[in-house]
Structure 1
Amino acid sequence: MTIRWCAAVGVGVLMAALGAHGQLASAPQPAAWDVTTPRGTVREIDFLTDQGTWMSLDISPDGRWIIFDLLGHIYRVPSAGGDAELLTRDSGIALNFHPRYSPDGRQIAFVSDRAGQNNLWVMSADGAGPRSVFRDDTVCVVEPVWLADGSAIVVRRQQTCHRGNWLSAGLWAYPVAGGGARELVKESEQASGWPSVSTDGASLFYHHAVCPGYHAGRNDLLRGCMQIRRLDLRSGETEDITYGEAFTSQWSRDSNGSAIAPSISPDGQWLAFARRIPDGTTSFKGHRYGPRNALWLRHLQTGEERVVMDPIETDLAHGLPYAMHLLPTYAWTRDGKSIVISQGGRIRRLCVADGSVETIPFSARVRRTISESTYVARRLPTGPVSSRFVRWPATSPDGSTVVFEAFGRLWSSRGGRSKPLLDDPRAGLLELAPAWSPDGVWIAFATWDETSGGHLWRVRADASSTPERLTSAAGEYLNPAWSADGGTIVFVRGTGATRRGKTWSDNQYYDIVSMPAAGGVVSTLARIQDQQLGQVVRPSVAGGRVYFLNQRRRERAASTLESVLMAGGDRREHLRFRSSDDAVVSPDGARVAYVEGALIQIKVLGGKVPAAVPGPDSAGTLSASVSPEGGLFPHWRDSRRLEFASGATLYTHDVAEGRGSRVPLTAQLPRPTGRGKIAFTNARVLTMGTSGVLDRATVIVDDDRISCVGTCDGGGASRVIDLSGATMMPGIIDTHAHRHVLHQGVVPPHNFEAAVYLAYGITSTLDPAATSLNMFPAAEAVEAGLAVGPRTFGTAEPLYSTTTTYGTAIDSPETADREVRRRVSWGAISLKDFLVSTRAQRQWIAEAARRHDVFLTGEGGSLEHDLSMIMDGHSGWEHDLTYTPIYEDAAKFFGQARAIYSITLMTDGPGPLAEELFWQQEDVWRDPKQREWLPWSMFLPHTRTRWLRPETDYPYPLLAQGLADIVAHGGYGTVGGHGDQHGLGTHWEIWMLARAAGNARALEFATGHGAHALGFDADLGAVAAGRVADLIVLDRDPLTDIRNTTSLRFVMKGGVLYEAQTLDQIWPVSRPFGPRWWKNETMLSADDRPTTYWDKAR
């Protein structure tokens, strides 16, 4: 192929610039752990490609070579095109990206995580002799560029490499020889990045965000939210090169449309940059998306601007906080005649003088040996339902009996045998938070009913008498604690949020109250504001004082251990915890046990008040962890023995001897399933399996399984339902349903967070970032038939790089193993790596997941991050792969790896949030099913106010196409509504996927692929003999119109049939759903009342 070269524009001069100073502390490296080595039963990825996704590139100073990154490797190709040579071949499964030639062309700077973190490296121009410029696990960098004299490299640096927020990045210069680094642009200049150094060494150009409150999915570059600045490297002064931001809509006429990705020409006269064309779109495989990007030139002396290349790739500015790189890096040739840039999956050469573009062909071999996947095939459990997450365990003073809560009931365990404490529990009444009296005669506990409220009770420990109600007024009572003399009970009282159609989480405060142990007047001792997350406060009594933890979440402050006198007053603050939500003081007042990192810690009270307690991952901590398997619900049996639960095990720690013991706690209920034979006849059946579509078919369900599909003998069926004109298909599976955020562990039997999904035909859900206190009790209630809802699976809390209330920082393989083992023991079938910082940490988690037979997925991020997770063994990732579009190279890589792509099109991505599109297209707040199954505040306020944009502003068709292409190469795609519009949002996801994949394939994603993602291929996801009877019946065929997925008539889960609108059970027995306590008919009213309404007596 002939490459045209352009007339010269001018050549600048080189000069030395910046000295560097200062020192950076490097975090210790994991001992004997090579992050470049694949682990387990390895897999091979191998293919040739002539396309590349999001390739950052550079051209050598002599113009002979072009270097580019491709799927985490760095290649070079002759500038005229040809076969690409791999330069980073000996780096195993490491990432290598953002290559840049040194000014003399002898070296290449690049970013690599081969030592565990995205640090700065250099190698010879032929790939030889790679070495790190610095190593620091706490610092990650991108976008390297050399200073003019080659002495240092400028990078965009993030100091705390977790959770992916690049708004906090600054620009730093690192000497190539090693040593100190210098901060050039502070992190306070929001989202500073894309450094470009002039050839005279005098100037550094960069872009930064100028609009306040930058939030992914809610900002528009057309407002002028990104602008370019110049830093004088000699004086340190900065100046705005572009400007014109519009802070409010009425001043939008001041916007210049933003300017990003600056690159200064060799002669210093022209600045190349990217800007969107407001009504311009670009198309990919038939999908239009805009506003499209163009490459512009500005003459720095005259201010003239002109478009020089249109289109270029789509920028990621809408997802700015989580975007590692807004565009692929491009480069000027040394003579200033041309710019080389990747676009459309190809390498292009732009002639600056006339705007002509040539394509430089390349062929690259992608070959990786990657780690074994953590994917696990499993079967749905059968037999009795056993609780794996017991709560509030308490042992009698004599040590003979343990009382605990499971399935919403109190259980008594003695000698290894458990039974319900109360012989005649009332249906729907939750029994919670038992506490023994000091003499062991009485057990105090709380109850709660979703419609009438709850009370505080006491019952004789031998259950020889009827429970005695202690409170006179119904309310929200929890967590009783006895005084040392047994004469007083201290407990917690809510504000009555549940009597207003809300949940325990909506209580704006809790009162610490007390009353005589035999009943009487309730006295208020203290008020605690804003306890809306985590545990409801649990008071403890010691030395004439009542202790309690104040979470102070609204203040975003540390939790504080406080106390008042038994009669109230004299409020004191004792300790401050970094992230605890539960703390109890020993009866002698000498120690406090608290939960942090899902570990039980003990600290001696006393000394400076208030004292700050360092976290469990802090050096020099004065606390001792006594829960090697994790723990919740700490409780002092006496001043010497501390008890706590983890999963279905009671642990006891003797503080005097420093030793512990454990006892399993068992609670079982029969597993409810459909009983009997039911036949559905004359149905159009979308089997989602090998049988395809069957017309006028019969489906027989025996108990909870499908026994026949197609031409079947319905004789012997106890009930026959004629489905003429209707369509049957498998139940929908939502693999990203965040629906366990409310209730603070007091989960009602009629739970709208569960019921709304089943009402929309969603028969299984996975919550990949769930609050354990809510999710596991809710899941067990559904599994035991105590609540109506979909099959409920989850991860527990995600794994983070830092310690949180319910997770410990992953600082070693042993810690990773403990964190994985604990979540699995609590009932998790999957785990979530939430942007864990280093490759070593992620690999430790993956290794533990393989060991304990549990899925590991991850929070999706950049293409590079998602590649690293798949190579480490993650079974897949969640959220959009925001580099849009993805080309054949990425689709083949993830497809060959059999990756599971759990896309969430409504949430963050490269453009506006797609949920807005449905708000503007439909009257969502009038949707009958939303009004029936959600509190008005969860759907009405935000859907009545509409964003109105051109539909081409929403990138979901391109994102859906990326998923479809990955699946076409062997991967899997699933549907996940993210809990953003409960129930209905899952259908929106299906509809958006159909835009690229077609109706049939979108339904496969929602059924069979979802079953695969959960590991239940053999049980779920198809209408086939032997599969579990999770089915939905639609009035209209979704193959004809995908929006017919919401035309639901019936929903069947496990052989139990429900009417879809009401969730009244109609087989095998008739049973109404029950109270919808969350409904506020006044707030749902849509009538008109004239001003003369009160003129008549009413």
Structure 2
Amino acid sequence: VSPGNTFIYHEDSNTELFQIRRVDLASTEITTVAGGPGGAVRPTPSPDGSKLAYVKRVRAESRLFVMNLATGEERMVYAELDPDMQETWAVHGFYPTMEWTPDSDAIVFWAKGKIFKLDLATEATTEIPFHVADTRKIYPPLRGTVEVAPETFATKMVRYPQPSPDGTSVVFESLGRLFIKRGESPPERLTRGDHEGFDYSPIYSPDGDSIYFLRWHDDSLTTLYRVRTRGGAPREMALSKGQYDDLAINADGTELLLRKRRGSDLLNPNFDNKPGIYLYDLASEQLSFLTDSGNNPHFGPEGRIYLQERNESAEGRGSSTAITQLVSVDRAGQDKRTVAEAEFASEMRLSPDGNYVAFINQFQLHVAARSQFGAGIDLDAAKPAFAVRRASKVGATYIAWSPDSESISWSVGAEFKTANINTLMNGDYATPATGNNLSMQVAHAIPNTAVALTNARVITMNDERAVIENATVLIKGNRIESIARGTAVPEDYTEIDLAGKTIMPGIIDAHAHGPYAGDDIIPQQNWNLLAHLALGVTTVHNPSSSAKSAFAAAEYARTDRILGPRIFSTGEIVYGAKSTSWAPIDNLDDALAHVRRLAAQGAISVKNYNQPRREQRQQVIEAARQEGLISVAEGGSLYQLDMSMIADGITGIEHNVPTLKMYDDVHQFWRQSGAGYTPTLVVTYGGLTSEDYFYQNTEVWKHPILSNFVPPSQLQARSVRRVTAPEEDYRDDDSAAAAKILMDAGIMVNIGAHGQREGLASHWEMWSFARGGFSPMEALATATINPARHLGMDKDIGSLEAGKLADLVIVDANPLDDIRNTDRISHVMINGRLYRAGDLSEEVTGTATLSPFHWQTTPQGAIR
């Protein structure tokens, strides 16, 4: 505010990046004072009101300007500011505050980690020396140990559990197969024989004699089956080709409901004409269209059909006008009526008798008595007014009512719990401490093979960073037996001569978003995962995913049901913003509930994501500590938030610190904490990214490996017509240079490709670290041993040593000579199985091959 409260100066982001505008407080007239190319931020009027200091970009550099407010003359007075934050969201300002001296003759400002005074008349700068000796209370970062590939493991992400009508049995999906658990007996396989495809969405017939279910196959898409509850061979029923889910049955067992999905590149973009909700007559096996909106369809009283709809707001996530509604339609799909709504509900389901509405809100199951409210009531707003009861304590997925509406069931991980409605609604209720455990102990896939890789250069990435020339690597099953030079190959080992090639550890992507399913339908061949594997990524850690798909896909991969990298994840983020993913934290018990839910589903880590208050973030970290999980932080382009979470014991910061430059105070602080750093250079805050750089400087769409696995519609749309910019506009190397100082101080710096370009972006991360000053060996460490230690997996992966898992990459040229050789991949080995990178056909250890992808059988497949 200028002297005399005459004008207010503020930033405006609507035009020219940012402008400084002036508001006349008397007339309310608004005029632009500064802006244009390079923007204008941090307006600071002089005490006498005659001048305005501000920060402006000149090309890629931030510089200090002063304007004579009487004449409008602009004058650059200092050219060596640190980068401003005009290209981030700058919640805490675009540049540190500056101030005029009282006589309006000089400006005091911050730059290069120091404080300067600039005399306006001479433009001479004088450093104002200062030194702060301080101590801060910090907590050691959470660290854990993950057994990457135990010989057996307990399944956790049980999906689609449904109780039998009499409540004595539960049918569910695990590992792409249907199982049934009868009473206290162990689960048993429902369908006999081996078959291609993955089963899902089972439901009991009302008499309990049969189970209807869907089966996914990448070629035939969804098929509908019926099988007797006692087991046996299922009978396929007529169903037009398409992608279906959300199976439901009516009370007399004569009709089904299904939802037909829109196509997608992950599953198949075709056969999606007229998506929506359909009725299926079991006698004639004919579909009839009902409505084009909604999901989670189910039958209700008076012959009406109930659907869940999510009305998103144009105002964005968290807006009060974005709501989930439970609606009903007649059998013609008409006469839509709103039954209930809840702002942040992720699932809503009416009881069969129509007297109760169950809904999952903030990951917990709630039940409301319908008799106490009128049509269209907002269940969130009405909670104080009438009985809305919380049934779950730790979390809930997969709501299931009993046919008589007297009980409701849900699951969390492998536990299936049931509550009596009368007890729940009368207030004398305690959440069941335990439930029906649907977990099974299954074997991790281990090949029965013995292989000797000979005459190769081996970059071990061990503590000594040893490089062994002409080495022999003996591998038995899925683990390395020995690595040495001159080792004789035992008679029972198959020798593979790798003369002229280099072996490095499999790449570990510490921040790897990506799809595992389409609305929980897991494809047999996930081209995204396969592209990662073909490009040498053998382990991914996803710090924000759907638990239902990520943890299920992880279990599929461990048992060779799908091919791809090893999958680890946080599941859903512990999110501080209002949305259907909101996880409000008001105390440690709230945090423990969210963390325990994720752990039960299969999480090894927790994503501490933008909880607004520091004690909330601390409670998430403490809950993770108590449950034995690590916790990674969404950096959020918020410097202060990053520093506070480092102090509070976070395992590591995800995304780069937005200031781009850090100084010795931060280096000392961070070093003494030991928290890790995954700056995700491919999406660097503060300017153009690593991804932008390599799109500009390489022909990505022609990559000999990537182009075999990614649909042209996905690959070419982003990579062919590229935006170009001068070198100085790119900020990935600046962020990498800041990370280099941290790594030199002992901080574990990791790659995190953010899911940007399937597998190739992991190499871009390494190459950008090299652009920022990392040696090739240091860059390799960010993709191998560093993330292994960061995630607690270094006993099994991250380096090539005896006893560790046989996850490795064979390249045609030495990355230590040129880090850009990392993607010249000949073969990839994961879990002891060897695959040719170009098409992932298995060699020596087996004969498996991939089927053609959906686009490879169409004209699109010829586009390269």
Q: TM-score normalized by structure 2? A: 0.93
**1:377 matched to 2:145:** yes
**1:327 matched to 2:91:** no
**Larger displacement relative to structure 2 (784-793 or 469-478):** 469-478
Structure 2: distance between partners of 1:621 and 1:578 = 17
Structure 2: distance between partners of 1:567 and 1:228 = 57
**1:1043 matched to 2:836:** no
Q: Tell me, yes or no, if the aligned pair for 1:543 and 1:589 is still in contact at 8 Å.
A: no
Cα drift, residue 476 of structure 1: 2.3
Residues 343 and 721 (structure 1), Cα distance of their counterparts in 2 relative to 1, 3 Å cut? same
1:523-549 Cα distance to aligned partner (Å, 9 max, x none): 2222216xxxxxx63434434222111
Aligned to 1:237: 28
Question: Which residue, out of 410, 416, 436, partners 1:644?
Answer: 410
1:115-143 Cα distance to aligned partner (Å, 9 max, x none): xxxxxxxxxxxxxxxxxxxxxxxxxxxxx
Q: Tell me, yes or no, if the aligned pair for 1:640 and 1:656 is still in contact at 8 Å.
A: yes
Question: Which residue, out of 756, 763, 767, partners 1:991?
Answer: 767
Cα drift, residue 421 of structure 1: 0.4
Q: Tell me, yes or no, if the aligned pair for 2:529 and 2:758 is still in contact at 8 Å.
A: no
What amino acid maps onto 1:1018 in structure 2?
K
Query: Which structure has the larger Rg over C-alpha atoms?
Result: 1
Question: Which residue, out of 486, 499, 502, partners 2:253?
Answer: 486
**1:346 matched to 2:122:** no
What are the equivalent positions in structure 2 for 1:574-653 lying under 5 Å apart?
574-605=339-370, 607-614=373-380, 622-638=387-403, 639-653=405-419
Question: Which residue, out of 436, 441, 446, partners 1:673?
Answer: 446
> Secondary structure of 1:891's match?
helix
**1:422 matched to 2:422:** no
Cα drift, residue 267 of structure 1: 2.2
**1:695 matched to 2:469:** yes
Q: Tell me, yes or no, if the aligned pair for 2:227 and 2:234 is still in contact at 8 Å.
A: yes
Q: Tell me, yes or no, if the aligned pair for 2:108 and 2:117 is still in contact at 8 Å.
A: yes
Gaps of 5+ in 2: 317-321
Question: Which residue, out of 31, 50, 73, partners 1:269?
Answer: 50
Structure 2: distance between partners of 1:742 and 1:325 = 39
Q: Tell me, yes or no, if the aligned pair for 1:481 and 1:541 is still in contact at 8 Å.
A: no
Question: Which residue, out of 836, 859, 864, partners 2:640?
Answer: 864
> Secondary structure of 1:402's match?
strand
Q: Tell me, yes or no, if the aligned pair for 1:907 and 1:913 is still in contact at 8 Å.
A: yes
1:559-596 Cα distance to aligned partner (Å, 9 max, x none): 22122234654332222222333222211111122222
Same amino acid, percent of matched pairs: 30
Cα drift, residue 508 of structure 1: 8.5
Cα drift, residue 1068 of structure 1: 2.3
Aligned to 1:14: none
Structure 2: distance between partners of 1:691 and 1:318 = 38
Structure 2: distance between partners of 1:380 and 1:716 = 30
1:277-318 Cα distance to aligned partner (Å, 9 max, x none): 22xxxxxxxxxxxx1122111111122221111122211101
Structure 1: distance between partners of 2:724 and 2:694 = 10
Residues 1080 and 894 (structure 1), Cα distance of their counterparts in 2 relative to 1, 3 Å cut? farther
What amino acid maps onto 2:585 in structure 1?
I
**1:706 matched to 2:480:** yes
**1:739 matched to 2:514:** yes
Structure 1: distance between partners of 2:160 and 2:470 = 54
1:973-1008 Cα distance to aligned partner (Å, 9 max, x none): 000111111111111111001112121101001100
**Larger displacement relative to structure 2 (904-913 or 443-452):** 904-913
Aligned residues: 844
1:33-68 Cα distance to aligned partner (Å, 9 max, x none): xxxxxxxxxxxxxxxxxxxxxxxxxxxxxxxxxxxx
**1:298 matched to 2:67:** yes
Gaps of 5+ in 1: 1-196, 212-223, 245-254, 279-290, 530-535, 1088-1098
Cα drift, residue 740 of structure 1: 2.6
1:771-808 Cα distance to aligned partner (Å, 9 max, x none): 12221111111111100000100001111224543453
What are the equivalent positions in structure 2 for 1:376-525 lying under 5 Å apart?
376-414=144-182, 415-427=184-196, 429-463=197-231, 466-495=233-262, 497=263, 502-503=267-268, 510-525=275-290
Cα drift, residue 1010 of structure 1: 1.0
Q: Tell me, yes or no, if the aligned pair for 1:435 and 1:480 is still in contact at 8 Å.
A: yes
1:688-711 Cα distance to aligned partner (Å, 9 max, x none): 112521111111112211111122
Cα drift, residue 442 of structure 1: 1.2
Structure 2: distance between partners of 1:573 and 1:404 = 31
> Secondary structure of 1:629's match?
coil
Structure 1: distance between partners of 2:779 and 2:443 = 36
**1:968 matched to 2:748:** no
Residues 502 and 785 (structure 1), Cα distance of their counterparts in 2 relative to 1, 3 Å cut? closer
Structure 2: distance between partners of 1:573 and 1:505 = 33
Aligned to 2:11: 207
**Larger displacement relative to structure 2 (620-629 or 478-487):** 620-629
Aligned to 2:794: 1017
Residues 824 and 804 (structure 1), Cα distance of their counterparts in 2 relative to 1, 3 Å cut? farther
Aligned to 2:859: 1082
**1:730 matched to 2:505:** yes
Aligned to 2:319: none
What amino acid maps onto 1:515 in structure 2?
Y
Residues 708 and 687 (structure 1), Cα distance of their counterparts in 2 relative to 1, 3 Å cut? same
> Secondary structure of 2:289's match?
strand
Cα drift, residue 1069 of structure 1: 1.8
Q: Tell me, yes or no, if the aligned pair for 1:504 and 1:742 is still in contact at 8 Å.
A: no
Cα drift, residue 912 of structure 1: 2.2
1:795-839 Cα distance to aligned partner (Å, 9 max, x none): 011112245434531122111110011101110111111111001
What amino acid maps onto 2:479 in structure 1?
R
Question: Which residue, out of 551, 563, 574, partners 1:799?
Answer: 574
Structure 2: distance between partners of 1:598 and 1:332 = 51
What are the equivalent positions in structure 2 for 1:174-253 lying under 5 Å apart?
197-211=1-15, 224-233=16-25, 235=26, 237-243=28-34
> Secondary structure of 1:818's match?
helix
Q: Tell me, yes or no, if the aligned pair for 2:459 and 2:502 is still in contact at 8 Å.
A: yes
> Secondary structure of 2:97's match?
coil
Q: Tell me, yes or no, if the aligned pair for 1:990 and 1:1002 is still in contact at 8 Å.
A: yes
Structure 2: distance between partners of 1:683 and 1:641 = 64
Q: Tell me, yes or no, if the aligned pair for 2:325 and 2:338 is still in contact at 8 Å.
A: yes
Aligned to 1:721: 496
Q: Tell me, yes or no, if the aligned pair for 1:858 and 1:877 is still in contact at 8 Å.
A: yes
1:939-986 Cα distance to aligned partner (Å, 9 max, x none): 211222211110110111110011111111121100011111111111
Aligned to 2:133: 365
1:194-229 Cα distance to aligned partner (Å, 9 max, x none): xxx334444432322232xxxxxxxxxxxx321212
Q: Tell me, yes or no, if the aligned pair for 2:140 and 2:673 is still in contact at 8 Å.
A: no
1:582-624 Cα distance to aligned partner (Å, 9 max, x none): 22221111112222222112122354322222179x7657532
What amino acid maps onto 2:11 in structure 1?
H
Structure 1: distance between partners of 2:514 and 2:788 = 19
Aligned to 1:934: 710
Structure 2: distance between partners of 1:688 and 1:758 = 20
Structure 2: distance between partners of 1:753 and 1:807 = 28
Structure 1: distance between partners of 2:525 and 2:616 = 40
What are the equivalent positions in structure 2 for 1:545-564 lying under 5 Å apart?
545-553=304-312, 557-564=322-329
> Secondary structure of 1:307's match?
strand
Residues 709 and 466 (structure 1), Cα distance of their counterparts in 2 relative to 1, 3 Å cut? closer
Q: Tell me, yes or no, if the aligned pair for 1:709 and 1:1025 is still in contact at 8 Å.
A: yes
